Amino acid sequence: MIVRFIIAAVLICLGMIIFGVATFGIFRFRYVLNRMHIAAQCDTMAVLFCCAGVMVLTGITFTTLKLLLVIAFVWAANPLASHLIAKIEYVSQNEDDEDEFIEEVI
């Protein structure tokens, strides 16, 4: 029982450290796509570690299945949402550049 608690504590602490790194990275980088990349990657990995720690702590129960579904949803939704936000940012930057170019030409 104590070994399971130690493993769970290490996994949860690792997840919290990764969340902290993501928070630091959001404020550290200047470009919006870099900020979004660090947030998406670290959040996905941190959720994995935190949920894995709780799964180790609870053992094999119905809660473990729910946590596996949470991990699957986050791993599917977070990269997809990040990609869509990046695409919108890229398109909006290019449109602004085109507008400035047209104004300079005219």
| Per-residue model confidence (pLDDT) at position 95 | 64
With a cut of 80, say whether residue 99 has pLDDT above it: no
Distances (CA, A) of 95 to 31, 53, 71, 103: 17, 45, 36, 12
pLDDT, tens digit, for every residue of 67-96?
999 999 999 998 888 888 888 887 777 665
Give me the domain span that covers residue 20: 2-105
pLDDT, tens digit, for every residue of 24-70?
888 888 888 888 888 888 889 999 999 999 999 998 999 999 999 99
Q: Are 68 and 35 in contact (CB under 8 A)?
A: no
Q: How many of the other CB atoms lie within 10 Å of CB of 28?
A: 11
pTM, entire model: 0.77
The total of structural domains in the chain comes to 1
What pLDDT band is residue 3 in, cutting at 50, 70 and 90?
Answer: very high
